[in-house]
């Protein structure tokens, strides 16, 4: 896509009823979409030759503790090596329904990113091939980047592995 300002318009053309919010700040284009649109939107971003977002640069989460009805936001950062463009997609996730579809089949880099989000925030990724802790040890209780995680919580001690 030669005109980098048309990314949001391209997404709006296909997913207008799924877009919750959008902005273009200093060339940083972002859309917030309903979680049901995640996989179709990702396929569109990756497979449309005019977009060609072939690289998932980063995937992270944000905890908006005590914000109702949506506590979390999962943020996808895409990059097109063909057009040297970036695009951000945000997905709101409620505390009651803390699960998203995995994008591991679309971008292999999502594997570790999704494991990190599960480990730190407790957001599950349906269909993930190996959703287990990646930063904390297996016996760790809770998810330490949640804003309601007790900072003085004692964890089970693990000894040397024999």
> Per residue in 27-50, pLDDT tens?
889 999 999 999 999 999 999 999
C-alpha span between 44 and 41 (Å, rounded):
5
Dist. CA 77–CA 79, nearest whole Å: 7
Residue environment code for 124-133, b if the CB has 16+ CB neighbours within 10 A, otherwise e: bbeebeebee
Q: Give me the CATH number covering residue 81.
A: 3.30.460.80
**143 in a structural domain:** no
Could you tell me if residue 141 is inside a domain?
Answer: no
Q: Which of 8, 31, 9 is nearest to 21 (CA)?
A: 31
Please report whether residue 50 resides in a domain.
yes
Does any domain span residue 38?
yes
Q: Which domain holds residue 35?
A: 4-102
159 within domain boundaries: no
Q: In 3D, which of 7, 89, 4 has the Cα closest to residue 42?
A: 89
The residue count for the chain:
162
Count of structural domains, the chain:
1
Residue 117 resides in a domain: no
pLDDT for the residue numbered 6: 84
> Tell me, what's the pLDDT at 3?
56
């Amino acid at each position: 896509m030669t005109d980098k300002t048309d990314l949001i318009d391209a997404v709006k053309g296909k997913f207008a009823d799924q877009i919750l919010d959008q902005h273009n700040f200093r060339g940083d284009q972002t859309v917030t979409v309903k979680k049901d649109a995640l996989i179709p939107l990702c396929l569109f971003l990756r497979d449309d030759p005019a977009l060609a977002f072939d690289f998932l640069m980063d995937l992270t989460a944000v905890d908006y503790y005590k914000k109702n009805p949506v506590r979390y936001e999962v943020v996808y950062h895409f990059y097109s090596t063909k057009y040297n463009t970036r695009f951000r997609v945000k997905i709101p996730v409620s505390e009651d329904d803390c699960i998203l579809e995995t994008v591991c089949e679309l971008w292999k880099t999502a594997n570790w990113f999704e494991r990190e989000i599960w480990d730190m925030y407790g957001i599950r990724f349906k269909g993930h091939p190996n959703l287990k802790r990646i930063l904390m040890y297996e016996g760790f209780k809770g998810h330490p980047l949640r804003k309601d995680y007790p900072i003085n919580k004692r964890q089970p001690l693990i000894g040397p592995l024999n």
